Structure 1
Amino acid sequence: MQQRRQRCDEVTEPEYGDTWVYESIVGALPGIDLTDWQAVLLQIAIFEVSLLFLAWAYDLWDAALAGTAAVFVAAVGSLAMVRIGDGTRSLVLPESYQRLLFGSSVEVVLAVLAFVALVTHLFVFDPERAANPLVETLFGERPDVIPVYLMLLVLWDLCYRIGTSWWASVVALWRSYRFSFDAETAAALRRVDLTNVVFGLAQLALVPFIVDRPVLLFAVGGHVVAVTVVSVLAVLTVEVQEGD
């Protein structure tokens, strides 16, 4: 056994929480007890019904198509987060790994950074450099407040899930480098990591709407490639404990 690895033989309780912020919010809704699928379906229904209503009210059907793609990717992200969370919590894993993954809330920091960068791009960088800014293309020269508000809400939802995906992949690679596991646990962790890859690839659904936006295309494409590469490395390097 290499010295850089530590064995994971006992169940330990995480000290700083063991759920994503998203899961905590859903679980804290008063008087509501939703399954994972019900929570995701509710999320899709609220966003998509609001999106279609505003598209009808403001005649923004082009924006509705792009918005539907964003809602779809966010929904896939919600399912991925739940599967990663449930899959991780069901295993015997080191406390430090669980604390980093769930209790650090680094995914929220990454989401805020991504969202601020996206808003800056949409409302400052893009209008200064593009002949047809994306916001103007989708919402017209004088965008109405309510559709833009919904757009930003959906984009925040999407950025949060993207931030979570990136953090999960980074922590997974650290976990594979730092620890070793029994064969059954290692196989389950590989499935968890591949779930993150699936979510990353689902983000390619956004590409048709930003194919003429080099910065956004590079950001989305770069994220998909990075998450895929890091997660696959985590899958390939997870080490199985030798028998006692």
Structure 2
Amino acid sequence: MIGTRDAVDGDPTFGDTWVYESLVGGIPGLDLSARAAIALQVLLFETLVVGLGVAYGLSLAAVVGGTVAVAVAAAGSVAMLYIGTATRGLALPDAHRRLLFGSGVETLFGVLSFVAVVTHLLSGAPAPFDPFGGGRSPAPVTFVALLILWDLCYRIGTSWWTALVSLWRSLRYRVAPETARRCRRLDAANVGFSLLELALLPLVVGQPLLVWGVVGHVAAVTAVSTAATLLLRTEP
């Protein structure tokens, strides 16, 4: 019978968490619940967005765009924490958990996404909701914009990796009926987060490459996660 390790029943050990979870849980002197960590994330980023908007006279579109990006990133954090916690409670082999968390592939996908978007912008494409209409943004504005962009790209990469691992899981293992039900819920949660990413489309209107990048990612996650759900086999 497939079982889970005791190490994941309480505080998860290194290698059993997303990089995001490891960072939050590894800061000395900081003991935050999942809800508090997400609330702090939203408060910090939204304060930066609004504060810079006031300090530098950014356009309303830029501030609203930043707020939307912060909200989507926060939704990604909720999805990651839910999927991570629920996955550690599944009766699946250790190999599944090691592949999902310990490989760090979600970070690689996040880096590739981030580099692709930055390369696109450096190649002369207008920045989404450019607050200065093509002018040079102050360094603090650029820094925060890139920080939020990385936050989004990391969560997008995590969503894609989760979908791929779910498909691998369905092709490789047979599971108990209850485990299958919980796996399908996790697949649905991943699709749900990917659909929320469509809220980013107004930020990239007029930039076909970025529009197709967002839409293509959502379509791919939905297709792969749906296939993972349909191909999931239960034990006789």
Q: Which TM bucket (shorter chain)?
A: over 0.9
Alignment partners' CA distance in 1, 2:224 and 2:213: 16
Q: Does 1:79 align with 2:72?
A: no
Q: Does 1:148 align with 2:142?
A: yes
Q: With a CA cutoff of 8 Å and minimum separation of 6, indicate the structure with the bigger relative contact order.
A: 1
Q: Does 1:207 align with 2:201?
A: yes
Q: Does 1:56 align with 2:54?
A: yes
Larger radius of gyration: 1
Conserved? CA contact 2:4–2:89, under 8 Å: no
Q: Secondary structure at the match of 2:137?
A: coil
Conserved? CA contact 1:111–1:162, under 8 Å: yes
Alignment partners' CA distance in 2, 1:119 and 1:216: 11
Alignment partners' CA distance in 1, 2:111 and 2:219: 21
Which of 170, 183, 186 is the equivalent residue of 2:180?
A: 186
- CA distance 1:207–1:194, change in 2 (3 Å): same
The residue aligned with 1:95 is 94
Alignment partners' CA distance in 2, 1:211 and 1:143: 20
The residue aligned with 1:134 is 127
Q: Secondary structure at the match of 2:174?
A: strand
Q: What amino acid is the match of 1:189?
A: C
Which of 164, 189, 192 is the equivalent residue of 1:195?
A: 189
Q: What are the superposed Cα offsets for residues 130-152 of structure 1, whole Å, 9 maximum, x if unpaired?
A: xxx23683334121111010000
Q: Does 1:112 align with 2:111?
A: yes
TM-score, normalised via structure 1 length: 0.90
The residue aligned with 2:213 is 219
Question: 4+ residue runs of structure 1 moved beyond 6 angstroms?
Answer: 13-16
Q: Specify every segment of 5 or more residues in structure 2 that has no aligned partner in the other structure, as ranges.
A: none
Q: Secondary structure at the match of 2:186?
A: helix
- CA distance 1:47–1:9, change in 2 (3 Å): same
- CA distance 1:136–1:48, change in 2 (3 Å): closer
User: RMSD in angstroms over aligned alpha carbons?
Assistant: 1.7
TM-score, normalised via structure 2 length: 0.92
Q: Secondary structure at the match of 1:24?
A: helix
The residue aligned with 1:34 is 32
Give aligned pairs, total: 229
Q: Does 1:11 align with 2:9?
A: no
Conserved? CA contact 2:176–2:234, under 8 Å: yes
Q: Specify every segment of 5 or more residues in structure 1 that has no aligned partner in the other structure, as ranges.
A: 1-7, 127-132
Q: Secondary structure at the match of 2:212?
A: helix
Alignment partners' CA distance in 2, 1:196 and 1:51: 27
Alignment partners' CA distance in 2, 1:10 and 1:31: 33
